[in-house]
């Protein structure tokens, strides 16, 4: 405990010294974060300085082993670091699907060779990854995917189409589910890693209702993927035809992550903020809106407590393994409701789509963006199915 | 009067449905003008066509060259506008401004009605001054000046204000900000000097303005109705606009629901049509029920307004508030369920369901959202 | 139209002259109504006078033909009578499942002999009927019923058990679904009519959570049911083994009735009433409760308009045949919500179970009673299934 | 502190669960006393057993002969009381009155605590004066009279008031009805002359009284805490009682949910277990989520209260209101879904699910319902 307090004061001092003021403001949107990769550019010096300071300490991936580019913090230390960063609103130095998704899969399923190579690249922000899961005909029913890798001995030739590949147009590599055995639905999928610069890969951004295009359609036209990238470094995670195990593990991890992203309790309750915003224009909240905000705040504050309990329980292995599905379901539905209420409180001003006063339509675009929360990473309907089956043990679920 | 369309109304509904589906559909209108970044946000050609159909002047009295129809009829057109997400100045011009102009002098009528009826003119209304609908508080001031008035203040959420040939402005000519009396309505022409617009595109691709009045000089004959006695006209205009917005909202809700139910019958997941999943069936059935009810109460409100020549009995006022509130919640449910049930593709600009969500949001806000009108229902009921 | 106005003024005058003051107060509960039957007793002279006056005019069943005990009113006249009765809050002179349920079935499916006998008995309040549909294993899935009538030539021998038979312990006769062919699920049910005094019939009241017992379990132990009660008067409605057609027709009718029973708009909105009730104790509504009442009132007033539209459309055959399912679903869910809000507004006083001040716990018992609304006559879940199938035409519904 | 039970608490939970399921179950307690029309509405035998388990004095300080435990521990017992619908004076005596007595003089403590700890005494609290919970308004008056006070007024919803050996009464000793100051708490003994009870059975078969105080003479040492300074003690008592009621509500919700989920696995309709129907699955999953969240926020509120020795930090006060509101809505959902999913038999007295609905209703109302506390959350957040 004393060590932890030492660590806390050291961390605090280090952050004080190394985290520039500009990096202590909330990330405005996805483009405002640093994503790394071959074509990465820093938006400003502060972003660069902060990234490099963290990189030197292993703080781009603080809980990963030092051998793979992390700081090797234990869970208690990692929590202290999170708390201290959150205390000063420090931004993450590096945003990356490599950190959030591929990394955990490799830590769990990867060979030593894969870890040495890919985890270090991720930690250093050298390679930007994207995820190739969904296909036009396979959304919630992911396992029905059709993208096929034909076995050519030392390589596969991959053909097919992915959809909802986040920032595929900016990504360097993809981790991708590919069918390698048509006979077995579940045990015929391989979790492949390959370069997006490979011949035959093309991407097309999808314009969303929010006006942004964070996702792409990605097409594979006779893409040749070697089975190995060298000693102890296969081009697939886990075993050939057993990629579904890796995908399931990652989906669980993703839901855990999404469910943890509900935000601290500083932002959970919005009624007071909305009242102050109204007051700034000499207005006050409609009484019915006020009641709806209060009902929301009750739910949001209660969910914050649930989030805390969930994280505490995960740490000691007390949480039901399907609990992330519940957290994801409730958290995303709440976030949609939060933005509905913010739009209602904001009135006609928040309808503006590209005015300067609204920062280019942040309220309305942000509101529309939240509608994907309950679709991506497993729909609310799928979450409810999973709870029924795995937690409530209902028949036929 | 039975709560369904009589034969004439049913015929009008057939006509309007066919016409709007053909000429006012999403591809021809909403996407067309949006993708061209049109500064009006709607097509003048369609407006002219609507005039030829007799729509633009349907609420204008026969003596004044209109069709002398009522809110049931206007609602029929508006429901089709809603279903097709047709960007159109119909609600602001042919419903709101037309209702105000009923109370205008022969002079004012003569100046503006022919253009409306012919589809040559477009009107807007300027009521709100903050981001929320607060018609009880009017701070924009018009002071006597010579034979006329001098108008100063600012208005927001003036839908199609930048394209309007005339804007009906509610201003205070006496009393203090929250007084019921002391309101006067003015017909402010497009070229009035001292009026300036800050145009904004809204989430649904429609256009609105923040409009400033800086000592705008108006003739005495710009007044609609009585000086200081404009509250009654304003209320009539608001009732007409709200029940019209409700009708359009029913169209938005219906269109979103139909599109979603169709999708449930086409999309397969887990080897089944998703419409086979009981959880989705129950939600669709619930939504259907709400849309039916929203439509019923809207017709009820229209009939009550028409029965009273738009003047707004106590009961009509209550049911208009109920309709706007009920439609608001229902259309919100319809578009949220629509996007969610469409899944990922519901989030894409390519599919139309998201456009319904955007239009609903803007329409929701117009002339008071569901919260505002729910509160009004409580107030009108004395609690 | 002139005739109708004449009818209206005559009706008004007749009601004025014949409806006693005591009969112009709302029926307090099911025991406060007059149900007729062999063992019927009038609660007071007013009830008797009102019943007899109506009987003489055919007003116990005003829309039935005069030949069967009715007044033969056309729909427009019947509506005028309803309106005029409602205007003075006149009670129905006779409450009866014969009027509400068996009568419509006989009018549609009955033989002339059945109509002559049974409809007249019903109209005169001589025979009190109960309905034998549900069985312990057959609730929503009614057609799975097991009560069996063994064919003995001129009669059946019926064995089995019914549940939810309303007032079976007070009823004289039962209309009852009995399986007469075990091979065919739908086309093996007969809609039988028989005397509850038959040997082998026994009933046991079911104590409900409201503390009342309006329903019974009804047992048939070798009950002999003759196939005919005389010339042109079979003991079954419709055809043998085709009772499901009758039952379906009646279920539709029942839902229509329930959906029409939502109450006029005088009682639909409750916020103002609750505010006045609070004010009488020097209290006011909690702001959040007020908002919930307002949201309820919006829904209730909108539903009232829907009810009006529905009745208007039914009259001219414009209503979708499955629309009563929607009306039943929404109306019963609204009524449950209404009572939840009334309990909330009533506070601790409304919790009282048998105090004098609450008329023996009327608020709480009434509230509990409403919970059956969305179960009896087809559950809300079944209603939603029917809408999905018959109106929205969803696959596999 | 992590938001789950530590080892000691987990052990207590095991013990309490086993004990209450065995001795406090519906057959042995609720139905037993109800069907005998018991005037107390609970069993003194079980109360004595709970004393032997150490439950009755768990919130009483060790110096005063209790166990000196906190609200987390009391909540553990209360959740089991809720799950078993056990009629028990635990909440009024061991939580509410015990919290008030913490602030009492040695004399008051000595008079009442031993009886509580031994399970010989039962206490009640008299706060509400109207049918709704309005603790900010206290009109019952206590006037100085000799060395003591003379108490006049009336209180309603005094749960177990007729069986109580002592009632903690909140009265006004100065100021006007809505003042924060000027409140004094009194420990009024059972035999106080001038106190009369009108006993009523409630929907959940518990007993409460409307209690009148007609110039009840009280000694000066009947005062708990400071004269005129009782608001703080009252608040501490309310916080303890509310978080306790929330914990009991979590038990009620959990019990109703478990019973319902079990039923979904047994009941067949249309040839399938009804738990196979996706619409019911989704509703059950949603309910599960809400119950988990309600439990989490209740533990959070308990820990915050305990961290502050029950005195109620700003954050604790907020989270207690959140907990009572969230649990209120959740338990309401649980019992409504429970009865509906049970279908017809859910309406019968023979099945237990209806008893959960009745208990929820009464518990809901106790110390402020979900609407009251939702409004409080808004107020505490400054809007």
D228-247 tens-digit pLDDT: 999 999 999 999 999 999 99
Site from D274, D281, D319 to mutate, A interface, most A CB atoms within 10 angstroms? D281
Q: Which chains touch B (3 or more CB pairs under 8 A)?
A: A, C, D
The stretch C36-64 carries a mean pLDDT of 95
pLDDT band at A263; cut points 50, 70, 90? very low
D183 close to D228: Cβ distance less than 8 angstroms: yes
* Residues of A with Cβ-Cβ distance to B365 under 8 angstroms: 347-348, 351
pLDDT band at C223; cut points 50, 70, 90? very high
Q: Which among B4, B289, B323 has CB closest to C329?
A: B289
Q: Do B369 and A208 touch (CB under 8 A)?
A: no
CB pairs under 8 A between B and D: 10
Residue matched to tokens 């490979």: A198
Site from A218, A334, A347 to mutate, B interface, most B CB atoms within 10 angstroms? A347
* Residues of D with Cβ-Cβ distance to C292 under 8 angstroms: 371
Helix (H, G, I), strand (E, B) or coil at A132: strand
Nearest residue of A to residue B155, measured between CA atoms: A348
Which token pair is D159?
Answer: 């749960």
Residue C233 DSSP label: -
Q: Where in chain D is the domain with CATH 2.40.110.10?
A: 125-228
Counting Cβ atoms within 10 Å, is residue C260 exposed (0-12), middle (13-18) or buried (19+)? Answer: middle
Check pLDDT > 60 for residue D357: yes
C-alpha distances (whole Å) from B29 to each of B44, B206, B363 are 10, 11, 17
Check pLDDT > 50 for residue D222: yes
D378 close to C291: Cβ distance less than 8 angstroms: no
pLDDT band at C262; cut points 50, 70, 90? very low
pLDDT band at D1; cut points 50, 70, 90? confident
What gap in Å lies between CA D81 and CA D90, rounded to an integer? Answer: 9
Element containing residue A49 per DSSP (H, E): helix A45-57
Residues (pLDDT < 50) of chain B are none
Which residues, 6 or more positions from B35, have their beta carbon under 8 angstroms from its beta carbon?
Answer: none
Q: Where in chain B is the domain with CATH 1.10.540.10?
A: 7-121
pLDDT at C263: 42
* Residues of C with Cβ-Cβ distance to A287 under 8 angstroms: 287, 290-291
Q: CB D11: neighbour CB atoms within 10 A?
A: 12
Q: Do C315 and B377 touch (CB under 8 A)?
A: no
Residue matched to tokens 């989704």: D282
Report the DSSP pairing between strands C155-166 and D148-159: unpaired
pLDDT at A258: 63
Helix (H, G, I), strand (E, B) or coil at D344: helix
Q: Do A395 and D276 touch (CB under 8 A)?
A: yes
Buried/exposed code over A246-259 (b: 16+ C-beta within 10 A; e: otherwise): bbebbbbbbbbbbb
Q: Do C287 and A291 touch (CB under 8 A)?
A: yes
Check pLDDT > 70 for residue A1: no
Q: Which among A283, A288, A372 has CB closest to B374?
A: A288
This prediction's pTM: 0.93
Higher pLDDT, A95 or B311: A95
Helix (H, G, I), strand (E, B) or coil at A166: strand
Does 2.40.110.10 match the CATH number of domain D125-228?
A: yes
Which residues, 6 or more positions from A289, have their beta carbon under 8 angstroms from its beta carbon?
Answer: A274, A341, A344, A345, B371
Higher pLDDT, C30 or C212: C212
Check pLDDT > 70 for residue D375: yes
Higher pLDDT, C314 or B82: B82
Task: Quick: pLDDT tens for A193-249.
Answer: 999 999 999 999 999 999 989 899 999 999 999 999 999 999 999 999 999 999 988
What gap in Å lies between CA D89 and CA D222, rounded to an integer? Answer: 21
* Residues of C with Cβ-Cβ distance to A292 under 8 angstroms: 291
Alpha helix (H) residue ranges in C169-320: 243-260, 265-268, 271-280, 287-315
Task: Quick: pLDDT tens for C84-119.
Answer: 998 899 999 999 999 999 999 999 999 999 999 999
Q: What percentage of chain A carries pLDDT values higher than 90? A: 82
Q: Do C368 and D130 touch (CB under 8 A)?
A: no
B288 close to B243: Cβ distance less than 8 angstroms: no
Q: Do B299 and C309 touch (CB under 8 A)?
A: yes
Residue C177 CA neighbour count, 13 Å, CB half: 26
What gap in Å lies between CA C383 and CA A155, rounded to an integer? Answer: 56
Check pLDDT > 70 for residue D130: yes
C-alpha distances (whole Å) from D269 to each of C139, C141, D258 are 7, 6, 20
Task: Quick: pLDDT tens for A160-170.
Answer: 999 999 899 99
What gap in Å lies between CA D101 and CA D224, rounded to an integer? Answer: 7
CA-nearest of B289, B250, B291 to C326 is B289
Site from D200, D278, D331, D378 to mutate, C interface, most C CB atoms within 10 angstroms? D200
pLDDT band at C25; cut points 50, 70, 90? confident
Buried/exposed code over B193-202 (b: 16+ C-beta within 10 A; e: otherwise): eebebbbbbb
CA of C26 vs chain D CAs: smallest distance (Å):
24
CA of C345 vs chain D CAs: smallest distance (Å):
8
C-alpha distances (whole Å) from A111 to each of A28, A233, A238, C289 are 37, 7, 8, 60
Nearest residue of C to residue B2, measured between CA atoms: C312
Does 1.10.540.10 match the CATH number of domain B7-121?
A: yes
Q: Which chains touch A (3 or more CB pairs under 8 A)?
A: B, C, D
What gap in Å lies between CA A93 and CA A85, rounded to an integer? Answer: 11
Does residue C395 belong to the interface with chain B, where contact is any CB pair within 8 Å? yes
CA of B275 vs chain C CAs: smallest distance (Å):
6
A344 close to A367: Cβ distance less than 8 angstroms: no
Does residue A294 belong to the interface with chain D, where contact is any CB pair within 8 Å? yes
**Across all residues in chain C, what is the average pLDDT?**
92
Nearest residue of A to residue B379, measured between CA atoms: A287
Nearest residue of B to residue D280, measured between CA atoms: B279
Straight-line distance from the first to the last Cα atom of chain A, in angstroms, rounded to the nearest whole number: 45
pLDDT at A145: 94
* Residues of A with Cβ-Cβ distance to C291 under 8 angstroms: 287-288, 290-292
Nearest residue of D to residue B276, measured between CA atoms: D278
pLDDT band at C31; cut points 50, 70, 90? confident
Q: What is the ipTM of this complex?
A: 0.94
* Residues of D with Cβ-Cβ distance to B281 under 8 angstroms: 279
Does residue B97 belong to the interface with chain A, where contact is any CB pair within 8 Å? no
Task: Quick: pLDDT tens for D257-311.
Answer: 999 999 999 999 988 999 999 999 999 999 999 999 999 999 999 999 999 776 6
Does residue C275 belong to the interface with chain B, where contact is any CB pair within 8 Å? yes
Higher pLDDT, C295 or C260: C295
Q: Do A330 and D289 touch (CB under 8 A)?
A: yes
Fold of B231-380: Butyryl-CoA Dehydrogenase, subunit A; domain 3 (1.20.140)
pLDDT at D266: 96
Site from B135, B343, B357 to mutate, A interface, most A CB atoms within 10 angstroms? B343
Task: Quick: pLDDT tens for C128-142.
Answer: 999 999 999 888 888
Does residue C320 belong to the interface with chain B, where contact is any CB pair within 8 Å? no
C362 close to C349: Cβ distance less than 8 angstroms: no
* Residues of B with Cβ-Cβ distance to A379 under 8 angstroms: 340, 343
pLDDT at B312: 67
Check pLDDT > 70 for residue C1: no
Q: Do A287 and C292 touch (CB under 8 A)?
A: no
Does residue A388 belong to the interface with chain B, where contact is any CB pair within 8 Å? no
pLDDT at C255: 74
Q: Where in chain B is the domain with CATH 1.20.140.10?
A: 231-380
Check pLDDT > 60 for residue D28: yes
Task: Quick: pLDDT tens for B328-337.
Answer: 999 999 999 9
Does residue C360 belong to the interface with chain D, where contact is any CB pair within 8 Å? no
Q: Which chains touch C (3 or more CB pairs under 8 A)?
A: A, B, D
Which token pair is C228?
Answer: 């005919």
Nearest residue of A to residue D282, measured between CA atoms: A384
Q: Which of residues 295-334 of D touch A (CB under 8 A)?
A: 296-297, 299-300, 318-319, 322-323, 325-326, 329
């Amino acid at each position: 405990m004393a060590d932890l307090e030492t660590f806390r004061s050291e961390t605090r001092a280090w952050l004080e010294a190394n985290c520039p003021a500009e990096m202590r403001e909330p990330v405005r949107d996805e483009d405002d974060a640093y994503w790394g990769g071959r074509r990465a550019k820093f938006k400003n010096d502060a972003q660069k300085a902060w990234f490099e300071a963290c990189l030197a300490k292993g703080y781009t991936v603080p809980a990963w082993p030092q051998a793979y580019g992390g700081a090797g913090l234990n869970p208690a230390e990692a929590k202290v670091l999170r708390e201290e960063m959150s205390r000063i609103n420090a931004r993450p130095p590096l945003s990356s699907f490599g950190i959030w998704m591929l990394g955990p899969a490799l830590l769990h399923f990867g060979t030593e060779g894969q870890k040495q190579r890919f985890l270090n690249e991720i930690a250093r922000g050298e390679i930007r990854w994207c995820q190739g899961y969904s296909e036009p005909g396979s959304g919630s029913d992911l396992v029905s995917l059709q993208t096929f890798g034909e076995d050519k001995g030392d390589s596969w030739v991959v053909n097919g189409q992915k959809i909802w590949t986040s920032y595929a147009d900016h990504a360097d590599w993809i981790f991708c589910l590919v069918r390698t055995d048509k006979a077995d639905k579940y045990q015929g999928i391989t979790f492949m890693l390959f370069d997006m610069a490979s011949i035959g890969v093309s991407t097309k951004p999808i314009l969303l209702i929010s006006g942004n295009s964070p996702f792409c359609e990605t097409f594979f036209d006779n893409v040749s993927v070697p089975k190995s990238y060298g000693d102890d470094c296969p081009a697939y995670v886990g075993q050939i035809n057993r990629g579904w195990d890796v995908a399931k593990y990652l989906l669980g991890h993703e839901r855990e992550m999404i469910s943890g992203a509900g935000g601290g309790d500083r932002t959970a309750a919005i009624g007071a903020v909305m009242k102050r915003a109204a007051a700034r224009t000499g207005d006050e909240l409609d009484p019915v809106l006020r009641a709806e905000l209060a009902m929301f705040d009750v739910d949001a504050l209660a969910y914050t407590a649930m989030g805390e309990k969930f994280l505490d329980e995960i740490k000691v292995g007390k949480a039901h393994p399907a609990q992330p599905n519940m957290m994801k379901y409730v958290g995303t539905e709440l976030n949609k409701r939060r933005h509905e209420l913010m739009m209602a409180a904001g009135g006609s001003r928040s309808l503006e789509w590209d005015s300067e006063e609204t920062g280019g339509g942040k309220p309305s675009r942000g509101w529309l963006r939240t509608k994907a929360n309950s679709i991506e990473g497993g729909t609310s309907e799928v979450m409810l199915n999973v709870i029924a089956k795995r937690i409530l043990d209902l028949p036929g679920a | 009067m039975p709560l369904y369309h009589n034969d004439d109304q049913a015929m009008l509904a057939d006509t309007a449905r066919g016409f709007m589906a053909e000429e006012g559909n999403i591809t021809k209108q909403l996407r067309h003008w949006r993708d061209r970044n049109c500064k009006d946000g709607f097509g003048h050609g369609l407006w002219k066509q609507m005039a030829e159909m007799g729509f633009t002047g349907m609420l204008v009295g026969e003596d004044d060259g209109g069709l002398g129809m009522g809110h049931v009829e206007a609602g029929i057109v508006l429901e089709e506008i809603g279903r097709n997400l047709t960007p159109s100045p119909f609600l602001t011009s042919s419903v709101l401004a037309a209702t105000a102009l009923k109370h205008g002098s022969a002079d004012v009528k003569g100046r503006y009605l022919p253009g409306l009826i012919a589809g040559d003119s477009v009107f807007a209304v300027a009521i709100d001054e903050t981001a929320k609908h607060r018609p009880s508080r009017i701070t924009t001031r018009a002071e006597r000046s010579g034979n006329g008035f001098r108008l100063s203040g600012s208005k927001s959420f003036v839908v199609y204000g930048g394209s309007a040939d005339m804007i009906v402005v509610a201003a205070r000519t006496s009393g203090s900000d929250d007084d019921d009396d002391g309101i006067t309505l003015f017909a402010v022409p497009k070229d009035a000097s001292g009026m300036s617009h800050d145009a904004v595109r809204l989430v649904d691709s429609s256009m609105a303005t923040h409009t400033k009045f800086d000592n705008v000089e108006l003739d005495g004959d710009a007044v609609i109705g009585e000086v200081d006695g404009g509250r009654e006209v304003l209320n009539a205009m608001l009732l007409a606009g709200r029940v019209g917005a409700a009708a359009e909202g029913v169209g938005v809700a219906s269109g979103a629901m139909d599109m979603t139910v169709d999708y449930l019958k086409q999309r397969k997941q887990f080897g089944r049509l998703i419409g086979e999943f009981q959880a989705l069936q129950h939600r669709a059935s619930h939504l259907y029920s709400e849309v039916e009810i929203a439509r019923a109460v809207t017709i009820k409100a229209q009939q009550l307004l028409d029965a009273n020549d738009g003047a707004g009995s106590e009961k009509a006022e209550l049911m208009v508030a109920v309709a706007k509130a009920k439609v608001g919640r229902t259309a919100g449910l319809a578009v949220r369920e629509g996007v969610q049930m469409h899944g990922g593709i519901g989030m894409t600009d390519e599919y139309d369901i998201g456009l319904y969500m955007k239009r609903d949001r803007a329409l929701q806000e117009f002339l008071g959202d569901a919260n505002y009108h729910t509160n009004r229902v409580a107030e009108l009921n004395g609690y």
